[in-house]
Chains A and B, each alone.
Chain A
Amino acid sequence: MKPTLHTRRQFLRTSILGGAISWTVPAFLERTFFTLDAIAADSPIQTTTGKDGQILVVLQLAGGNDGLNTLVPFTDDAYFRARPRIAIPAKLTHRLTDHFGLNPNLSALKSLHDDGHLAVVQGVGYPNPNRSHFRSTEIWQTASDAHKTESHGWLGRYFDSCCQGEDPTVGVSIGNQTPQAFASQDQRGISFARPEQFRFDLSKTSDPEAADEFFRAINERDAAAMEGGSIGVLQGTPAAQGDALDFLQRATLDAVASSDKVLEITKRTKPAASYPAGQLSNSLNLVARLIGGGMPTRVYYVAQGGYDTHSNQSGSHDRLMAELDASIGAFTADLKAQGNFDRVVLMTFSEFGRRVAENTSAGTDHGAAAPLFVIGGKVQPGIHGQAPSLTQLHKGDLMHTVDFRNVYATVLSHWLGAPVAPILKRSFTTLPFIQRCGI
């Protein structure tokens, strides 16, 4: 057994960097040293400089996207029989194959497909599907079995196993709440809806500069502090409190450094493509600027809500598809203009698909398996996985043909170069929808 990473990091703090400096340097600035050690030890620890390395963008379609009206099986009579009011006629779809076409609003995705940059994975789900938004989202976010509860997210476990010593911005989620997928032992990953939120806001103080100076000063453990003049409340700080205080001080330093960087980048970067109005579009615009500005982030997380289409689905689902399409279209154009398109893979997911049959309100109720999109310069284009049968159903729902963790495993191992078993708790086979990265 190799010594634990934690122990090694402590070793580095004390012996390589020396006592005094290790208190004042944000944890991730030590990573250069740490990485040297990690490389030597052949560890899975990954480092990004912000200029290279693969990036994953996860796009959540919240509410349960209707997979059948996203990737339309236009030659299947069962589809039209089950959906007399909301089925999409074959001639309106963007044909991908002889049997499947994209929703008419997905024209940018069709172009991406034609350029060889869109992969579709069909029939993605999991055994014993749960039809609660809350629970099924949790299952996707934590990559757990349906009957098990996991606290940490699948991306959080990736951060924990591969990104020790990294900047907290190794994961960036655009939104007010951190997705459970990011939940991790070390609380790495940051979230904000607007970059201005992700900073210590002193604009309301009478002298922001003086306040900022004070704030930075109180969070600085200088050499004097190390010699006994502790900044802690009590003299002779006891161990447990020292630990908690030390932890909080380091968390503050990390937060301040990350915040400075995010602000610096968003101030100087401009989108290289024109984005439509809308929240998802704004989120992807921000992600593109952070990528273009050289953030060392490996995973971005964005979401689009509104997919819970129980009644009069057609109009609302069309609008959602159009927004999704235009936002992804702008985002991919932006990345291409930056020259970063080959470094990025965008993956969509939704907590479940919807019932095969429409309901009495011309909508659809919570279902199970559905297709998802994988987009990027290095995807293996086309339709992957087997289409679920529309006649052999389980309680009115499509039966999954691909476990979502096979998709995660593929992204983790082929794209992020991470070991699958420690992150997904066991191994899962991969699918050929991504060209293996060079790691």
Chain B
Amino acid sequence: MLTPLPPREWTPIAAAHLLNRAGFGGSPAEIHRLHCLGHSAAVAALLDADEDFDLFPAPEIAPMQRPTPGPKAQIHGAEVRALARRQTLQLRDWWLRRMRSTPNPAREKAVLFWHGHWATSIQKVRDPFLLLQQNETLRAHALGEFGPMTKEMTRDPAMIRYLDLQTSETGKPNENFSRELMELFTLGEGHYSEEDVREAARAFTGHRYNPRTGTFELAHRRHDKGVKTFLGRTGCFNGDEVVDIIVSQPRCAEFISKKLWTFYAGENPPQGLLDTLADAYRDSGLHTGNLLRRIFTSRAFYAPVIVRSQIKSPVQWLVQACKILEIPLPAAAVSLKVLTELGQTLFAPPNVKGWDGGRAWISSSTLLLRHNLAGQIVRGAGGRLQAPDIDTLIPPGAAPSSLCDALGERLFQSPMSPALRAKATTFLDGNGTSPAARRDLLHLLLSTPEFQLS
């Protein structure tokens, strides 16, 4: 099923599809460059790209101090909360800018996937430093092996706080993390028993972090060293050994590879494809980068039912809009407002299941918001939101038909339908080609169902 795409099918539309899904899309020039590389070199360029170490210096934030109680407090709760809010905003802005401008967009896209997978929210964690740390951990493992990534997540302070591992100790194991680890992060419901949840919870007792330094520590005295029986195996397992057992289950490869395909390619893949994906993931030692290489070079990934059939997430919508309109991201507070209203606040997934995605992104309200936000992006708002250069996007005096070709390529990465072309041409004929009229057309074309698709 994962047969490679024949070279003659490596078209500019295929290159655009690859850039849309593996990354966050790009301008016609970027798509052209990718296409010229040839298919396998293009995939390699995306998955193996380098990024200068200091290109995106992380915001300088330290673990949150705890407010001291009482009227003579040295550190007030309100100040701590205000600082946390500011730093969370910085953190979001830093990551979005990285998505927008990194030479390695495939890695950032994968980090976004894993953020939705290992969903952890600032609303409970409260400490932006811990989420920055988690984001860096996800980045380090995003295109690597799933097993080591899972072990890191069992030691991740943000996760420890989010799923209540901090207080889990021998005799009083907290099952929250253990349950979600199997249900949402590795195996899926129905592939473990309640007894397995309890036994694994014992193995993770003692995993905690030091709130002052924000670093993991294993509290040996709180760790339950006793014999556990887990998924049919018996031993004095610790957390790492439990992870080893989990990732060796055939089900783990099935679960993760299906989720990867759904995120990158499309919903409801046929069973035959699922089996192939799971085999490929297993054979690679659960190496996510290698599985994605197989996916991105496969013919199935470029099938007509896959291309331009995915509803953009709010992050994809915003970042891709900025890339194709060749503008910087809006100011941090503007981006936050946009993403919050559209339903995807980074570092604040709605719950431990992450974002539902797909059609769940679209409601009457969010659809109209997308259209209205498109109008603001097209026209700009001072220093907070830079308007695109309309003469580049829609050159004055260009013949309507070549204009429609160029706009179709830029906005939809494929030709406009005859009906849309006819309407766009009529609009320009009727409204003239003043800069304002061309911005109006751009606004309207960004407010089409087609623009919501990637």
Binding site for B on A (CB under 8 A): 132-135, 138, 147, 149, 151, 168-169, 176-178, 180, 183, 187-192, 197-202, 204-207, 210-211, 214-215, 217-219, 224-225, 229-235, 238-241, 243-245, 247-249, 251-252, 254-255, 258-259, 310, 360-361
Whether the pair A248, B70 counts as a contact (CB closer than 8 A) is: no
Whether the pair A235, B417 counts as a contact (CB closer than 8 A) is: yes
Closest Cβ of chain B: how far from A182's Cβ, in Å? 9
Whether the pair B308, A241 counts as a contact (CB closer than 8 A) is: yes
Closest Cβ of chain B: how far from A387's Cβ, in Å? 30
Binding site for A on B (CB under 8 A): 69-71, 77, 121, 123-124, 176, 266, 303-311, 340-341, 343, 350-353, 356, 359-360, 362-369, 371-372, 375, 379, 408, 412, 414-420, 423, 427, 430-431, 434, 436-437, 440, 443-444, 447-450, 452-453
| CB nearest neighbor in A for B266 | A240
Closest Cβ of chain A: how far from B449's Cβ, in Å? 4
B contact residues around A191 at 8 Å (CB):
365
Cα distance A225–B420 in the bound complex, in angstroms = 11
Q: A204-B379, A218-B423 are in contact. Are A187 and B359 (CB under 8 A)?
A: yes
A contact residues around B434 at 8 Å (CB):
206
Whether the pair A245, B350 counts as a contact (CB closer than 8 A) is: no
B contact residues around A134 at 8 Å (CB):
121, 123-124
Whether the pair A234, B443 counts as a contact (CB closer than 8 A) is: no
Whether the pair B447, A200 counts as a contact (CB closer than 8 A) is: yes
Top 4 closest A-B pairs, CB basis? Answer: A248-B449, A255-B364, A238-B304, A240-B305
Whether the pair B356, A151 counts as a contact (CB closer than 8 A) is: yes
B contact residues around A199 at 8 Å (CB):
368
Cα distance A169–B365 in the bound complex, in angstroms = 10
Closest Cβ of chain A: how far from B253's Cβ, in Å? 24
B contact residues around A176 at 8 Å (CB):
340-341
Whether the pair A190, B364 counts as a contact (CB closer than 8 A) is: yes
Closest Cβ of chain B: how far from A89's Cβ, in Å? 24
Closest Cβ of chain A: how far from B360's Cβ, in Å? 6
Whether the pair B417, A231 counts as a contact (CB closer than 8 A) is: yes
Residue from A132, A240, A259 whose CB has the most chain B CB atoms within 10 Å: A240
| CB nearest neighbor in B for A186 | B359
Whether the pair A233, B308 counts as a contact (CB closer than 8 A) is: yes
| CB nearest neighbor in B for A210 | B431
Whether the pair A132, B440 counts as a contact (CB closer than 8 A) is: no
B contact residues around A192 at 8 Å (CB):
365
Closest Cβ of chain A: how far from B178's Cβ, in Å? 12
B contact residues around A245 at 8 Å (CB):
449-450, 453
Closest Cβ of chain B: how far from A314's Cβ, in Å? 16
| CB nearest neighbor in B for A262 | B364
Cα distance A387–B307 in the bound complex, in angstroms = 60
A sample of 12 more A-B contacts (CB under 8 A), given A251-B363, A255-B364, is: A133-B123, A151-B356, A176-B341, A183-B360, A190-B364, A211-B444, A218-B420, A229-B419, A233-B408, A238-B303, A241-B305, A244-B311
A contact residues around B266 at 8 Å (CB):
240
B contact residues around A189 at 8 Å (CB):
363
Whether the pair B368, A255 counts as a contact (CB closer than 8 A) is: yes
Q: A244-B311, A251-B364 are in contact. Are A205 and B440 (CB under 8 A)?
A: yes
Cα distance A233–B308 in the bound complex, in angstroms = 9
Residue from A183, A190, A215, A244 whose CB has the most chain B CB atoms within 10 Å: A244
Cα distance A367–B391 in the bound complex, in angstroms = 60
Cα distance A291–B55 in the bound complex, in angstroms = 55
Residue from A180, A233, A249 whose CB has the most chain B CB atoms within 10 Å: A233
Closest Cβ of chain B: how far from A361's Cβ, in Å? 7
A-B contact pairs, 17 of them (CB 8 A): A132-B124, A151-B350, A178-B366, A187-B363, A200-B447, A205-B436, A206-B436, A211-B444, A230-B419, A231-B417, A233-B417, A244-B453, A247-B362, A248-B362, A248-B449, A251-B363, A310-B77
From B359, B419, B430, give the contact of A247 (CB < 8 A): B359
Whether the pair B453, A248 counts as a contact (CB closer than 8 A) is: yes
Whether the pair B365, A244 counts as a contact (CB closer than 8 A) is: no
From A225, A255, A360, give the contact of B69 (CB < 8 A): A360
B contact residues around A214 at 8 Å (CB):
423, 427, 444
From A168, A225, A241, A360, give the contact of B304 (CB < 8 A): A241
Whether the pair A138, B71 counts as a contact (CB closer than 8 A) is: no
Cα distance A281–B94 in the bound complex, in angstroms = 38
Whether the pair B427, A251 counts as a contact (CB closer than 8 A) is: no
Q: A151-B353, A206-B436, A218-B448 are in contact. Are A232 and B362 (CB under 8 A)?
A: no
B contact residues around A215 at 8 Å (CB):
444, 447
Cα distance A211–B449 in the bound complex, in angstroms = 16
From B343, B365, B417, B437, give the contact of A190 (CB < 8 A): B365
Cα distance A210–B428 in the bound complex, in angstroms = 11
Cα distance A45–B330 in the bound complex, in angstroms = 44
| CB nearest neighbor in A for B358 | A244
| CB nearest neighbor in B for A192 | B365
| CB nearest neighbor in A for B438 | A206
Closest Cβ of chain B: how far from A240's Cβ, in Å? 4
A contact residues around B444 at 8 Å (CB):
211, 214-215, 218
Whether the pair A232, B417 counts as a contact (CB closer than 8 A) is: yes
Cα distance A249–B450 in the bound complex, in angstroms = 9
From A151, A200, A205, give the contact of B351 (CB < 8 A): A151
Cα distance A217–B417 in the bound complex, in angstroms = 14
A contact residues around B371 at 8 Å (CB):
200-201
Whether the pair A147, B176 counts as a contact (CB closer than 8 A) is: yes
Cα distance A169–B363 in the bound complex, in angstroms = 11
B contact residues around A238 at 8 Å (CB):
303-305, 307, 309
A contact residues around B365 at 8 Å (CB):
178, 190-192, 198, 255
Cα distance A219–B444 in the bound complex, in angstroms = 11
A contact residues around B311 at 8 Å (CB):
244, 248
Whether the pair A187, B124 counts as a contact (CB closer than 8 A) is: no
| CB nearest neighbor in B for A360 | B70
Whether the pair B414, A224 counts as a contact (CB closer than 8 A) is: no
A contact residues around B363 at 8 Å (CB):
168, 178, 187-190, 251
Whether the pair B71, A251 counts as a contact (CB closer than 8 A) is: no
B contact residues around A133 at 8 Å (CB):
123
Cα distance A201–B351 in the bound complex, in angstroms = 32
Closest Cβ of chain A: how far from B176's Cβ, in Å? 7
